[in-house]
Chains A and B, each alone.
Chain A
Amino acid sequence: MPVDDPSSSEIPPSTILVVEPDILVRMTIADYLRSCGYRVIEAVTADDVVTVLGTEHKIDIVLTEVLLSGSMDGFALAQWLRQNHPAVDVVLTSGIAKAAEQAADLCDEGPLEKPYHPQEVVRRINILRERRRTAPQA
């Protein structure tokens, strides 16, 4: 869980596994959470989560989009985590605004002061999407 004492240098940062199939949302949310002091692992599918949790990686929180491709959606993943890794907290999101809001909430509990308002995260994601939409076709 997030560290309450930012002056402690011995406690490792909490690790969040971000599961998001949209690369621009995933990249932006992950950068935001890292700037708040979290260690972040980026995943695309529920199968990625299963793979990571099968290793020695200690995951504290899984922040996952509901709509995932592959063998499990976010709801099924949350259920699987409750059954197999009950110590891992699960945060479900659906859509950019909700993902940004949940990331902001995690940063509220994090060891560093907030760098962004959640609306700023949404604005940055929308800027990236607009750039992609208006970029010259390859």
Chain B
Amino acid sequence: MASQEEATRQPAVLVVEDEILIRSAVAEFLRNVGYKVIEAADAAEAVAIFATRTQVDLVFSDINMPGPMDGLGLARWIANHHPGIHVILTSAIGHARRAGQSGADFLSKPYRLAEAARRIASLLNDPPQQDA
């Protein structure tokens, strides 16, 4: 019963982005293609969500965010505390190498929303449920 429920539940993506227009656009796009989406405006909010044991399968996070922890720090924190969760980091500046050192995938800005969805689906090995 548990494995059947696991197979049918919506994958959950945590979108971490301080710019509201980007965050809401990404979140809405991912919801429309079938993901459950949780939104966080910075790394501290993302950590708070993890503390509630809310289902998260993948974190899609900007690197440059205000506060004491940026996206690279968040990726390292997730690798240490939730090693089974995939992380994709995004940035307009070339952070690909540092993202990899944090155990995360990297998507450079600007990105197409469909490309972000494909990258997420690839990591989750779970194609989106609906057409984009």
Interface residue stretch chosen among B41-49, B92-100, B101-109, B117-125: B41-49
Question: B51, A131: Cβ atoms under 8 Å?
Answer: yes
Residues of B within 8 A of A (CB-CB), count: 20
> Contact partner of A41 among B24, B40, B41, B77, CB < 8 A?
B24
- Inter-chain contact B53/A138, CB cutoff 8 Å: no
A43 and B52 within 8 A (CB): no
Quick one: which of A23, A39, A131 contacts B45, CB cutoff 8 A?
A: A23
A24 in contact with B52 (CB, 8 Å): yes
- CB-defined interface of B17-30 with A at 8 Å, one 1/0 digit per residue? 00011011001100
Instruction: Please tell me which one of the listed residues A23, A30, A52 contacts residue B48 in the complex, with CB atoms under 8 A apart.
Output: A23
For the complex, what is the distance from the CA of A35 to the CA of B45, rounded to whole Å? 22
CB distance from B46 to the nearest CB of A (A): 9
Smallest CB–CB gap between B30 and chain A, Å?
A: 13
Report if A27 contacts B (CB, 8 A).
yes
Instruction: Check B40–A55 contact: CB distance below 8 A.
Output: no
Does A81 sit at the interface, judged by CB under 8 A? no
Report whether B49 and A51 are in contact in the complex, using a CB–CB cutoff of 8 Å: no
| A27, B21: Cβ atoms closer than 8 Å | no
A69 to B117, CA, bound (A): 33
- Interface contact B41-A132, CB-CB below 8 Å: no
Residues in A with CB closer than 8 Å to B48 are 23-24, 132
User: What separation, in Å, do the CA atoms of A60 and B19 have in the docked complex?
Assistant: 21
| Complex interface: chain A residues within 8 A of B55 (CB) | none
Q: A43 — which chain B residues lie within 8 A by C-beta? A: 20
Count contacts on A: residues with CB < 8 A to the other chain.
Answer: 19
Complex interface: chain B residues within 8 A of A135 (CB): 51-53
Interface set, chain A 9-42, CB cutoff 8 A to B: 23-24, 27, 30, 39, 41-42
Given contacts A27-B38, A27-B39, A44-B41, contact A131 B52 (CB under 8 A): yes
**How far is A78 from B51 in the complex, measured between Cα atoms in Å?**
33
Q: Is the CB of A42 within 8 A of B52?
A: no
Q: In whole Å, how far is B117's beta carbon from the nearest beta carbon of chain A?
A: 19
Look across to chain B and name the residue whose beta carbon is closest to the beta carbon of A41.
B24
Interface residues, chain B, with chain A CB atoms under 8 Å away:
20-21, 23-24, 27-28, 38-41, 45, 47-49, 51-54, 77, 81
**Mind listing 9 A-B residue pairs with CB under 8 Å?**
A23-B48, A27-B49, A42-B27, A43-B20, A128-B54, A129-B52, A135-B52, A135-B53, A138-B77
Contacts from A to B (Cβ < 8 Å): 23-24, 27, 30, 39, 41-44, 48, 51-52, 55, 128-129, 131-132, 135, 138
